[in-house]
A and B are shown apart, each in its own frame.
Chain A
Amino acid sequence: MLRFEAVGLRYERSGVRTDASAGPEVLHDISFHLRPGAFRWLMGPSGAGKTSLLRLLYLAVRPTRGRLTLMGTDVATAPRRALPVLRRRIGVVFQDFRLLPHLSAFDNVALPLRIAGRPEGQIRADVGELLRWVGLSQHLDTRPAELSGGEQQRVAIARSVITRPALLLADEPTGNLDDGQAERLMQLFKEMNRIGTTVIVATHNEMLVERHPAPTLHIANGRLAASDGRDDGWVS
């Protein structure tokens, strides 16, 4: 599914790729691999590099060194035109939701399907059903600004799973949810994982991790400190 081999990442200061403009390296020598259908918690202190690692995984940046293979594609060397198809197989729940403010909840969730060119009839059925499942059937036409933080997060979650992605990434997905909603979200992630989706969830919520024990990637100072050694999947 995915393989990191001595991956390093540094951001460019001015958007120009020259040695002089390069910032400090934020990830160093990251190496690990996950099989399809794996689940990992991603933990570490703020600023440790969790978000940068996720950005590499959802192809917002490419590694500046090392080799990252995602679903069989070498991300560092693949041509730009090869990346959109890969992105469509990755669902992301952002910490700040990243919803489009001028679109309704329905249109936000439908967006990945429309980008992928799915038939409109299927889109209507799938999106309606998923929004009902996350408890937003009353808010199909509501814009994000009129929704509460928790409701916006549920829209963001629905958008991330609507395409049944092969890889699901979440950055603090329970931050705006109450305990009941957080549990419901974990059930969704588990269900996605059970049908073969690889899931990586970055969180500070140790209670949540304790309630749902699974292998964890620990990151500190831009280095992968340790993996707890257990194999892919849930710990019962």
Chain B
Amino acid sequence: MISLRPSGFDELGLRRALSDRMLPVLVGAMTFLAALAMAGWFGTAALARHWQQGAGASLTVQVPQATDPAASGGQTRLAAVLALLTGTPGVASAHALSDQELADLLKPWLGQGADRLAIPIPAVIAVRLTGTASDLAPLAHRLDDAAPGTLVEDHDRWIGRLAVLVRSLQACAGLALLLVAGVAASVIAVATRAGLSTRREAIEIVHGLGATDAYIAGRFAARATLLAAAGAAGGALVALPVLLALARLAAPFVGQPAGTAGDTLQDALGALPVALWLALPCLPVSAGAIGFATAHSAVRRWLRRLP
């Protein structure tokens, strides 16, 4: 026969000692913060990925004195460079920016009418590649031969800076998650110790009747696991609408049109990254695990004072 202790059997009186109010609320609040930190982690990663893909597949070519004749003669330097670029394998398109586009680009720095200033402004060609940029040195050489002074700039430097920024933001999010887990563990440890002192007599009686440390610690751990997991589930549920709103705000930056996310419930739910959907249910599981481990070790340490 299998021994099945009745499910409601609470020999240590833990339903009152570890109450279902304070602990779940505190763990729920921690989980809310953890969900925000996780959203920060996944959000920055998605933004970085999107920008990296965009920037990694493009080049900027600057041609000074664009209207001068090219070294080979016959055509302008700009036309020679454009012809070379379009004939290069791996180049999807090469588009020389018009004066208006160039003026728009420079407007933030030079103001309106930048084109009327007596500054020699090079022609700028936006090049889209079929894949990410590989070794650009041979291309740069050929362009320089055709039109000396031509500069080829990939966006490595900016991607590098962006990567550093993203890694820092992710480190902050990770640190926040660790802190939240640490605070949750402390809250559970304090609640467990309070429970131990209020149920001291019951524990001594049960211990005297031959209960092992594992038995007593297991009763506390089961209760702490239940309360922490329930609190965390509540916290994650409360965080969900906040995350959906943030995802909707972030949609234009990760390549989704601003209008689509949130028009229907399905769109709204789809705005969250899949990774976040997978990570959210992990919060109650992790909180339960933290509750179990913390309560178990706290009770076992306390029980060592008994013979």
Binds A, one of B7-15, B51-59, B113-121: B7-15
User: Using Cβ atoms and an 8 Å threshold, which residues of chain B touch A226?
Assistant: none
User: How far is A15 from B302 in the complex, measured between Cα atoms in Å?
Assistant: 12
The verdict on A146 contacting chain B, using a C-beta distance below 8 Å, is no
Using known A-B contacts A84-B210, A85-B210, A120-B3, determine if residue A103 contacts B11 with beta carbons closer than 8 Å. Answer: yes
The verdict on A33 contacting chain B, using a C-beta distance below 8 Å, is no
The verdict on B4 contacting chain A, using a C-beta distance below 8 Å, is yes
- Contact residue among A15, A88, A121 (Cβ-Cβ distance under 8 Å from B1): A121
The CB with the most chain A CB atoms within 10 A, among B16, B209, B213, B305, is that of B209
- The minimal Cβ–Cβ distance linking B79 to chain A, given in whole angstroms, is 88
Binds B, one of A24-32, A106-114, A202-210: A106-114
The range of chain A's interface size is: 20 to 34
- Contact residue among A61, A84, A100, A118 (Cβ-Cβ distance under 8 Å from B211): A84
Binds A, one of B200-208, B234-242, B253-261: B200-208
User: How far is A116 from B206 in the complex, measured between Cα atoms in Å?
Assistant: 11
User: How far is A111 from B202 in the complex, measured between Cα atoms in Å?
Assistant: 12
| A87 & B10 in contact (Cβ 8 Å cutoff) | no
Majority secondary structure of chain B interface residues (helix, strand, loop or mixed):
loop
The verdict on A102 contacting chain B, using a C-beta distance below 8 Å, is yes
- The minimal Cβ–Cβ distance linking B195 to chain A, given in whole angstroms, is 14
The verdict on A98 contacting chain B, using a C-beta distance below 8 Å, is yes
Tell me the nearest residue of chain B to A86, going by C-beta.
B210
The CB with the most chain B CB atoms within 10 A, among A84, A103, A159, is that of A84
- The minimal Cβ–Cβ distance linking B8 to chain A, given in whole angstroms, is 10
User: Using Cβ atoms and an 8 Å threshold, which residues of chain B touch A62?
Assistant: 307
Can you list 23 A-B contacts (CB < 8 A)? A15-B305, A60-B307, A80-B304, A81-B212, A83-B307, A88-B209, A98-B208, A100-B11, A102-B10, A102-B13, A102-B16, A103-B11, A107-B9, A107-B11, A111-B206, A111-B209, A114-B5, A115-B209, A115-B211, A115-B215, A118-B3, A119-B1, A120-B4
